[in-house]
């Protein structure tokens, strides 16, 4: 007797959609926003205009088959270059109406979509809960993405000089990532004068000076990876202690996430542990100065934890916790499973520091300050 073959990525996702359709008494569900389109199609892109919240095509499921609806400008390209063979592509004349009009014409109803379809029989769908937890194929693609993002960012960081401007560094980051087919919706660079003053150090013409924080959120195939790296030339004396404190808080957040994920916990449970971690390292209340991150996946943050937040903590799932201690920050994207957690945004070539969570239950290497 042989083991049954593992379910495909699409099988896993359509089973979730079967449950959703049954629960909502719907005949179809459609995804036109780029991250959810990518989720259902295994990483395909429906983006032409990056300023638009919706793409040029919608991927849908009606309980029997998966389809993509688009216009006749895009249909051939999507079928040949983007979509898996499982997806039938249907097109309308580009001048005949909007994507929402095409869905209204072609979908059975009642139906749901993540864009507004303003006719009877349609409702909206929030896809975030459907995208959690990650599938095995999601995890494989995430490992590749995390390594490539870390490689691109760390190469830029190793070449930094004190006289570089924040904007020059941000531009270099975007080019390095784009060369790998990776978008960079967030590229923050804070030199010594601004990194200790602001938590979101949007790049300016200021020079880096004595040290710099570089924070990136990058996206490819719908998946998002976030990380921060610290580069020091002539660092202030307080930087090592504050960086280590932030690293201990990040490790504590991951340990708390792993516990919550195996006990059907909520985001608010993890946040309470993060608050405790800040107090334990001598920075009680510092969490008030910046959000602490949360679940990652097909969004930079599928949810951001708050004291009272209620989203379920899943595994296997990516998490990007980003604690800050004035002037210092520790952030990576990590995969949390029932067995523990692993850093996805890593190359193995950046200096690390081994830290414990504040309860002494987990010891892990976190990315340290690179001294130049």
Question: In this predicted model, what pLDDT tens digit does every residue of 214-241 receive, in sequence order?
Answer: 999 999 999 999 999 999 999 999 999 9
Position 3 pLDDT exceeds 60:
no
Checking phi first, is residue 202 left (phi over 0); if not, alpha (psi -120 to 50) or beta? beta
Full domain range(s) for residue 221: 136-371
CA 307 – CA 90 distance, rounded (Å):
46
| pLDDT confidence band for 98 (50 / 70 / 90) | very high
- One domain for residues 189 and 280: yes
Q: Is residue 197 part of a domain?
A: yes
Q: What is the CATH number of the domain that holds 216?
A: 3.90.230.10
- One domain for residues 69 and 48: yes
| pLDDT confidence band for 7 (50 / 70 / 90) | low
Mean pLDDT on 52-66: 98
- One domain for residues 117 and 211: no
Q: What is the CATH number of the domain that holds 35?
A: 3.40.350.10
| pLDDT confidence band for 339 (50 / 70 / 90) | very high
Q: What strands lie across the sheet with 369-371, from one edge to the other? A: 183-191, 211-220, 223-232, 369-371
**What is the pLDDT at residue 329?**
98
With beta carbons less than 8 A apart as the criterion, state whether 231 and 195 touch.
Answer: no
| pLDDT confidence band for 179 (50 / 70 / 90) | very high
DSSP 293-345: EEEESSSS-SEE--TT--PBP-SSEEEEE--EETTEE----EEEETTEEEESS
Position 306 pLDDT exceeds 50:
yes
CA 238 – CA 215 distance, rounded (Å):
20
- One domain for residues 213 and 315: yes
Q: Give percent of the chain with pLDDT exceeding 70.
A: 98
- One domain for residues 109 and 77: yes
Tens-place pLDDT, residues 315-324: 999 999 999 9
Position 5 pLDDT exceeds 80:
no
- One domain for residues 66 and 142: no
Q: Where are the strands (E) in 72-133, listed by range?
A: 88-92, 111-113, 122-124
Mean pLDDT on 37-65: 97
**What is the pLDDT at residue 299?**
98
**What is the pLDDT at residue 6?**
55
Position 2 pLDDT exceeds 70:
no
**Summary mean pLDDT of the chain:** 97
With beta carbons less than 8 A apart as the criterion, state whether 83 and 41 touch.
Answer: yes
**What is the pLDDT at residue 24?**
98
Helix (H) / strand (E) containing 252: helix 239-262
- One domain for residues 271 and 186: yes
Tens-place pLDDT, residues 138-158: 999 999 999 999 999 999 999
Q: Is residue 307 part of a domain?
A: yes
Question: pTM of this prediction?
Answer: 0.96
Q: Give percent of the chain with pLDDT exceeding 90.
A: 98
- One domain for residues 163 and 92: no
**What is the pLDDT at residue 4?**
39
- For 317, the token pair is 């799932």
- One domain for residues 205 and 75: no
Q: Is residue 272 part of a domain?
A: yes
- One domain for residues 98 and 233: no
- Residue ending a domain, among 102, 124, 146, is 124
What's the number of domains the chain is made of? 2
- One domain for residues 142 and 266: yes
Q: Is residue 1 part of a domain?
A: no
With beta carbons less than 8 A apart as the criterion, state whether 317 and 336 touch.
Answer: yes
CA 239 – CA 254 distance, rounded (Å):
23
- One domain for residues 115 and 144: no
**What is the pLDDT at residue 301?**
98
Mapped onto helix, strand or coil, the DSSP state of residue 31 is strand
Q: Is 352 exposed, middle or buried (0-12, 13-18, 19+ CB in 10 A)?
A: middle
Scored b (16 or more CB within 10 A) or e, 64-80 reads eebbbbbbeebbeebbe
With beta carbons less than 8 A apart as the criterion, state whether 162 and 207 touch.
Answer: yes
């Amino acid at each position: 007797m042989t083991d049954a073959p593992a379910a495909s990525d699409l099988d896993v996702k359509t089973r979730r959609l079967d449950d959703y359709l049954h629960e909502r008494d719907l005949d179809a569900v459609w995804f036109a926003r780029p991250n959810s389109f990518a989720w259902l199609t295994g990483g395909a892109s429906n983006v032409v205009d990056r300023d638009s919240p919706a793409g040029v095509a919608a991927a849908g499921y009606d309980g029997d088959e998966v389809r993509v609806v688009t216009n006749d400008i895009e249909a051939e390209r999507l079928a040949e270059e983007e979509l898996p063979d499982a997806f039938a592509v249907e097109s309308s004349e580009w001048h005949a109406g909007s994507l929402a009009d095409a869905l209204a014409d072609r979908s059975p109803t009642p139906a749901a979509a993540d864009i507004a379809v303003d006719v009877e029989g349609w409702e909206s769908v929030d896809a975030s809960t459907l995208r959690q937890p990650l599938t095995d194929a999601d995890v494989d693609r995430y490992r590749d993405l995390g390594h490539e993002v870390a490689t691109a960012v760390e190469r830029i960081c190793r070449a930094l000089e004190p006289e570089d401007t924040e904007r020059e560094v941000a531009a270099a980051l975007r080019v390095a990532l784009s060369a790998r087919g990776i978008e960079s919706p967030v590229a923050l660079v804070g030199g010594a004068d601004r990194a200790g003053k602001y938590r979101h150090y949007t790049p300016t013409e200021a020079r880096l000076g004595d040290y710099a924080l570089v924070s990136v959120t990058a996206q490819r195939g719908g998946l998002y990876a976030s990380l921060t790296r610290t580069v020091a030339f002539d660092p202030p004396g307080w930087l090592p202690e504050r960086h280590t404190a932030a690293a201990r808080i990040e490790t504590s957040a991951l340990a708390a996430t792993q516990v919550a994920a195996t006990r059907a916990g909520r985001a608010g449970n993890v946040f309470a542990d993060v608050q405790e971690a800040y107090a334990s390292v001598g920075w009680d209340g510092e969490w008030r100065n910046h959000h602490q991150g949360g679940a990652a996946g097909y969004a930079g943050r599928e949810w951001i934890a708050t004291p009272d937040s209620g989203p379920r903590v899943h595994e296997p799932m990516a998490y990007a916790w980003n604690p800050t201690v004035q002037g210092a920050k520790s952030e990576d994207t990590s995969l949390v499973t029932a067995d523990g957690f692993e850093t996805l945004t890593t190359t193995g070539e950046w200096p690390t520091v081994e830290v414990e969570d504040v309860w002494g239950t987990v010891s892990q290497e976190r990315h340290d300050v690179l001294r130049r």
